[in-house]
Structure 1
């Protein structure tokens, strides 16, 4: 299933969504350039979320050496930055497609400031959950999956019965259909299985945000929209 549009029209331009999509594309182009020159591994290891390193840094800072808080700050700084890094063509295409279809309507509903706050707060919270739940993971985790999950969760709470214009690709035939928005809640998690397609060449490997983190983002978005509705 490929979402195309939700047919919500408004004179309000989703400026934040435009900017988020543009920044993600620009940074991914930078990743491709680093990949060509063999420097992508160092960049992603510096700015991706590495749960094991973060856990070790926090442990050292709390129990052994207060100067280690500098390292903790560095590792936590990766939480918002990693939202703009992606590990494959399929991951960035999937994320930005959902951001475009669902994000622009959520932005119009919440307003630009609250929408941007939701995007970063949910993305950072999802990364923290990932660190807590997979504290032994020694490879970097990247992607805006947690933030996009939050947008999807907020959308489902606000517009649970809206029909999404979609296409169903059947081999070389694309069939236009309308699919209830809530079904994309399930499809979002299923399509993560294909995010390794078109992966970038990073020594040691790289991981997408896991289901724990994405579920945290989804719940955050749903709770935020419910609070705003009240």
Structure 2
């Protein structure tokens, strides 16, 4: 299923959503350039969320070396920065497609500034959950999945019966249909299984090798749903 648009009218242009999509695309193109030059592994391992490094830095700062809080702060910057990195073509295409369809309406509801804050905070909070769930993980966690799950949760909470224009690919035939928004909660989780397609070469051990991946998606959905309910 490929979501195209919804049937809701937006009063203003989703400027922040456009910028988020553009920044993600620009950084992914930069990743492709780094992959060709053999520098992508260093880049992603420097700016992706690596739970073991963050936990190690915090432990060192608390128990051994207070000056190490500088390292902790630097490591924590990976939480927002890692949201703009992606490890495969399928991951960025899937994420940005959902961001395009559902993000513009959520931005229209929240307003530009609050929408940007919501996007970043949701992504950071889901990153924190991943760190707490797997504190010894040594591979980078990257992608905007948590933030976009929160946007989907907010959208479906506000408009569960909104109709989403959808293309259903059947081999060489593409059938246009309309589906209620809540169906895309299930499709969101299903499509994650295919995010390894078109993976970039990120040495030494790749990215997003976590057994708690779906947990963070659930947390993202709940963050979005809770935020939208509190807004009421």
Task: Give the alignment's TM-score, normalised by structure 1.
Answer: 0.97
The aligned runs of 1:139-178 (5 Å cut-off) are 139-178=139-178
Per the alignment, residue 223 of structure 2 pairs with 220
CA distance in 2, matches of 1:18, 1:28: 15
Confirm or deny that 1:114 pairs with 2:114. Answer: yes
Q: Let me know the Cα RMSD of the aligned residues.
A: 1.1
CA distance in 2, matches of 1:75, 1:172: 47
**Partner SS for 1:168:** strand
**Partner SS for 2:49:** coil
CA distance in 2, matches of 1:109, 1:133: 32
Moved over 6 A (4+): none
Per the alignment, residue 19 of structure 1 pairs with 19
Deviation of 1:170 (Å): 1.0
Task: Give the alignment's TM-score, normalised by structure 2.
Answer: 0.96
CA distance in 1, matches of 2:64, 2:29: 41
Confirm or deny that 1:124 pairs with 2:124. Answer: yes
CA distance in 2, matches of 1:58, 1:153: 32
Deviation of 1:118 (Å): 0.7
CA distance in 2, matches of 1:47, 1:54: 12
Unaligned runs of 5+ in 2: none
Per the alignment, residue 208 of structure 2 pairs with 207
Per the alignment, residue 188 of structure 1 pairs with 188
Per the alignment, residue 6 of structure 2 pairs with 6
Deviation of 1:208 (Å): 6.8
Paired residues of 1:61 and 1:67 also in contact (CA < 8 A)? yes
Per the alignment, residue 60 of structure 1 pairs with 60
How many pairs are equivalent? 229
**Partner SS for 2:77:** helix
